[in-house]
Structure 1
């Protein structure tokens, strides 16, 4: 996570230097007249609001050491929505308080405030209702389990039920790894008859069938890996079309795709690269050497074997790039494109061997 530390006074610059020691991935911006180290520190020159506009979207979090009023007025022109705005934390130059000002949950400002407080011995100031009442918010639940939220308005309704102490249920296809408040219960589909709840959170890669009349929100875990093979020259739209068709037939959500995977000889295939970019996921490259170790587990093509040295691509590529995954859709061929889908095991891990 790239962080900008922004200061305007001599005292703020001194605290900023100390803070930067604990956040090595940060850039320290200091008013030009207080600049000390031109190699490590960056000067703030010209109109401050214009300067903020230049850096606002370049960082995932911004720490301001100055009055909160200055920060509010300076960031106001650049605010979009909580799905994309960076985390904003405000500190006084004595380092007494670390105030979570913007994007507390999805942006991570609440956690950043706590981290700053732990490092400096400050007091974190967090005002989100779910946090101060020891509840959970739907966006926090989504963030901690690497899920996307399908409808933020519905998520707000469910969070309100939780904060107000009303009963909410969770139906999840993945393990829930965080403690839940007493009014939030893990449920099973077979136990839903007669359940009296105000809201229901679905966490699933599958098509959702609403089971009872109440407020609902759907979270999509990033737990599906799409293995791909294709003839040379296949375009992005063709590949996306096949993926969409296969997912619709299987009742799966494209929003649950974690990554695409293919064999190393296809690493420069522009259609695959562009399809991954369009989906906002990595394209993971698997070597033929790795595939050769498990290709006998899958139906092989003698033509493909003669052409690239291995007889199977989409299924082994997806399986190898997963963590303890299992095949949920075996190889399907359509219009010169082969596709398979693997679901991650419970031990989901970060992407290795991914094309940046």
Structure 2
């Protein structure tokens, strides 16, 4: 996630500094930038460059400034508004697909503030189909059906949800259980049905890049993978591939952990790691000194995920194991 924080007052700047520091400590936050003043010009310049824009100012200022920039659910970033005293965090735009509702909860927790979310499905304790897609990293085949399906959910209808067998973890989610009737099949895609309306959702590949000290156990690797998945608020079973560097291809702890999860392992060559460049990468001085590459976990995840990949979890380390997670493709 890439955040921009825009403020205009003295109190706003102080609050932006505090929030920037808090977000920078979160491994699911890949980038945080701050901007001060000249709201109209700033919003125009950054509108398409961030996943979430946080405006510390009056809601009216934001609405009047961005009304001509808003395009569609497919392209608009999440927009949050925070008052100068940091008491309220408002989800203003792109609540589900853009993630504004989730970001509102994250930011309000960081500031000990009151989250303000007005999306009908959320306030009804139901999971909209776009929220389902975002939570489990599923691409939506047809956005035109989302509004009708979410209206049915808000009206108290139970929708039919067809899942691959390995996605039985969705049924453990209480809000999902309040929203869907579960069916299982052998197809790899997911389908939501209500009356004559049908929506296909396709899982986006999630790749966990893993690096480690020599001789780590499978338990150490599993623990780190589970903690990484928990940070993303997904079950570890949602991961599709474990990727590592060629120098770790014979590491039994990594191989055995992948086997126990039923997840394939892909190995990235040292040559590929040496030349790989990506804006999400945070080079490791230790790894570069030892192996001559910028890292193992992050670049392995990104390379395996493919050309359209991006990090959704920067490298986290525990007990000699490092894990980063990349996703390939977009939700919509």
Give the TM-score, by structure 2 length.
0.58
Structure 2 SS opposite 1:62: strand
- Give me the whole-angstrom Cα distance separating, in 2, the residues matched to 1:126 and 1:80: 21
Shift, 1:181, TM fit = 4.2
CA distance in 1, matches of 2:193, 2:8: 55
What secondary structure, in the 3-state scheme, does the structure 2 residue paired with 1:4 have?
A: strand
Check if 1:99 corresponds to 2:60.
no
Matches within 5 A, 1:29-48: 29-31=35-37, 44=38, 48=39
1:324 aligns with 2:315: no
Secondary structure of the corresponding residue to residue 110 of structure 1: helix
Task: Give the drift of 1:115.
Answer: 1.6
- Relative distance call for 1:212 and 1:152 in structure 2 (3 A) is closer
SS state at 1:185 partner: strand
Map of 2:48 onto structure 1: 57
Distance in structure 2 (CA, Å) of the matches to 1:188 and 1:152: 23
Tell me the residue number matched to 2:33: 27
Give the CA deviation at 1:290.
Answer: 4.4
Q: 2:123 aligns with which of 126, 132, 135?
A: 132
Specify the alignment match of 1:215 in structure 2: 197
Change (3 A) 1:178 1:73: same
The answer as to whether partners of 1:138 and 1:156 remain within 8 angstroms in 2 is no
For residue 205 of structure 1, the aligned residue among 188, 199, 204 is 188
SS of residue in 2 equivalent to 1:57? coil
Q: Secondary structure at the match of 1:89?
A: strand
Provide the residue aligned with 2:13 in structure 1: 13
**C-alpha displacement of 1:170:** 0.6
Residue 78 of structure 1 aligns to a residue whose secondary structure is coil
1:155-234 matches, within 5 Å, as 155-173=146-164, 174-175=167-168, 176=170, 178-179=173-174, 180-188=176-184, 205=188, 214-223=196-205
For residue 169 of structure 1, give the secondary structure of its aligned residue in structure 2.
strand
Counterpart Cα distance in 2 of 1:78 and 1:57: 10
SS at match of 1:117: helix
Instruction: Give the CA RMSD over aligned residues.
Output: 3.8
User: Residues 73 and 170 of structure 1: is their aligned pair in 2 closer, same or farther, counting only changes over 3 Å?
Assistant: same
Q: Which runs of 4+ in 1 moved over 4 A?
A: 210-213, 284-291
Q: Give deviations 1:179-218, integer Å, cap 9, x for gaps.
A: 22435211246xxxxxxxxxxxxx953598x999532111
CA shift in 2, pair 1:325/1:213, >3 Å: same
Q: Judging changes above 3 Å, is the alpha-carbon distance between structure 1 residues 122 and 204 closer, same or farther for their aligned structure 2 residues?
A: farther
Q: CA deviation at 1:120?
A: 1.7
The answer on whether the counterparts of 2:11 and 2:85 sit within 8 Å (CA) in structure 1 is: yes
Q: Which residue of 1 aligns with 2:216?
A: none
Q: 1:12 to 1:290 in 2, by over 3 A?
A: closer
**Alignment TM-score, normalising by the size of structure 1:** 0.55
CA distance in 1, matches of 2:87, 2:245: 50
CA distance in 1, matches of 2:206, 2:188: 8
For each residue in 1:253-273, what CA deviation from the matched residue of structure 2 results, as whole angstroms up to 9, or x when unmatched?
xxxxx89x9xxxxxxxxxxxx
Please give the secondary structure, in 2, of the residue aligned with 1:134: coil
